[in-house]
Each structure stands twice: as C-alpha cells, then as structure tokens.
Amino acid sequence: MEKKSLLYEGKAKKVYQTENPEQLIVQYKDDATAFNGLKKGTVAGKGIINNQMSNRLMRLIEKSGVPTHYVEELSERETLVKRVTIVPLEVIIRNISAGSFSKRYGVEEGIEFENPTIEFSYKNDELGDPLINSYHAIALKLATEEEIATIKDYSFRINEVLKNIWKECGVILVDFKLEFGKTSDGRIVLADEISPDTCRLWDEKTKKKLDKDRFRRDLGGTEDAYAEVMSRLTKYLSDNK
C-alpha cells in the first residue's frame, strides 16, 4: 500500500490517502506540542516509539474484543488504518489523580481512585478542547446516546486491558486519552493512538514519570523515558507470546 495525497497534518502525525478509499496511512512525527500548541519541540525517535507502541497495544485491545482502526504496520513510522470519521470527543479515563483533574479540584497528584473515572472534552482547538458532558455532546450531535454508551463501555474495557499490561511491565497507568471513530458502516472503533503522548505512565517503584509530562514540565530525559516504557512493553510481549 502506497501513500497518495496528504489528507491532514496534525501536531504529531500526518495522514495520507491510499488507493483504497476505506484505508489511510498514518505517519508519526517526532514533533511534540503541549498546552494547545503553545509549547513546541521535538522528541527524537518519539514517532517510531508511538507508532510501534500504539500498534502493539491496539492488537491486544482487538484480541480482548474491542474493535480498533488498526490494519497493518507498514514501517517504523507508518501504519495502515481504517478510514473513520472521528467522533469529536476526547475520552479521558483516570485511575489516579493527576494533571487537569488535580488542578481543577485542588487535590494532589497520586490519589488512587476506588473506581476509574471517565470524562469527555469537546475536540475543538479554537475553544481549547473544553470539558463537556454526555448530554451536551448529544445535544450538539457530536454522537448519539447509543454511541456514547458504546464509547463508555469500550473505554472502561480498554482501561482494564491496558492496566493489566502495564502492571506486568512495572508501570502504573495513571490516566489516558482515547479517540473513537465511525467506520463507513457506522461502527464505533478505537482510533488515534495510545502512547506516552496520550497516557500518564509512572514507574511502579520510583513513581518516576515515563510519559509526555517530562516534555510538558521540562523534566528532561523525555527520549529515555519513552525508550524505557517501550523496551518494557517489548519484553512483556516477547515473554507472553
């Protein structure tokens, strides 16, 4: 499968059309942005890690029965995916307090929740991706009530799958963001990516941050942290063939 015209260029990825109208090629870049594009930089090798990690995790998610957009890894940075219409909601699942949750509610980071939480942001750069509830999302016709129910069910199931994988790697899955899409036949599938750009991952023992917060908060060692979680995942996969 070959890349045809560039369909879309985002902050961390380029998306190309292919000869198959039902499939697209995603190309991962090393560019990183934070705070709605205010902070810009590059993380060397990030595109390769995010591509490979996202693909391996999506394969495991598929195996657990949740459909995804993943089709085939084409190269270090490129993946063939199903063409979907993205539901303009960012779905955030949290197991432990951090980031905007801690800020909004004035609580420290690291509080373990008895049950995971879910929230939605409206994907809209001009508005700065505001928090939105499901009633408002339905009123704005961003998704139907049934689609929201499916998205919630899939998201909590994905959390269980990912939490268990990362636990085996000695990593705590603090929180993460998902995006879903609708295929041409109207099915909801997991889309976008799952990577240290979109998850908070802490070392189980030291609680060291092994994710994009190193870039966001200028903690240094971002490249090494991404490489560290990828190598732990690779080891997990080879041990569990």
Q: Which residues would be at the binding site for ligand UDP (CB under 6 A)?
A: 90, 92, 98-101, 129, 175-177, 198-200, 212
Three-state DSSP state, 200: strand
Residue 124 corresponds to which amino acid? N
Calculate the alpha carbon distances from 223 to 40, 58, 202, 211 in Å.
15, 22, 15, 9
Backbone angles phi, psi at 179, to 5 degrees: -130, 145
CB of 178 to ligand UDP, least distance (A): 9
Comparison of 18 and 214: residue with beta carbon closer to ligand UDP: 214
Q: Smallest distance from the beta carbon of 179 to ligand UDP, in angstroms?
A: 9
Closest CB to ligand UDP among residues 18, 228 = 228
Query: Least distance in Å: CB of 181 to ligand UDP?
Result: 16
- d(CA 52, CA 85) in angstroms, rounded, equals 23
Q: Please, which residues bridge with residue 85 across strands?
A: 182
CB closer to ligand UDP, 45 vs 99: 99
Min separation Cβ 20 and ligand UDP, Å:
28
Residue with the shortest CB distance to ligand UDP: 99
143-161 burial by CB neighbour count: b if 16+ within 10 A, else e?
Answer: beeebbebbeebbeebbeb
**Least distance from C-beta 43 to ligand UDP, angstroms?**
14
Burial label for 141, CB within 10 Å (0-12, 13-18, 19+), is exposed
- We find the least distance from the C-beta atom of residue 129 to ligand UDP, in angstroms, to be 6
Q: What string of DSSP letters covers 28-66?
A: E-SEEEETTTTEEEE-TTHHHHHHHHHHHHHHHHHHTT-
Of residues 56 and 212, the one with the C-beta less far from ligand UDP: 212
Q: 18 or 210, CB closer to ligand UDP?
A: 210
Q: Which residue, 23 or 33, has its beta carbon nearer to ligand UDP?
A: 33
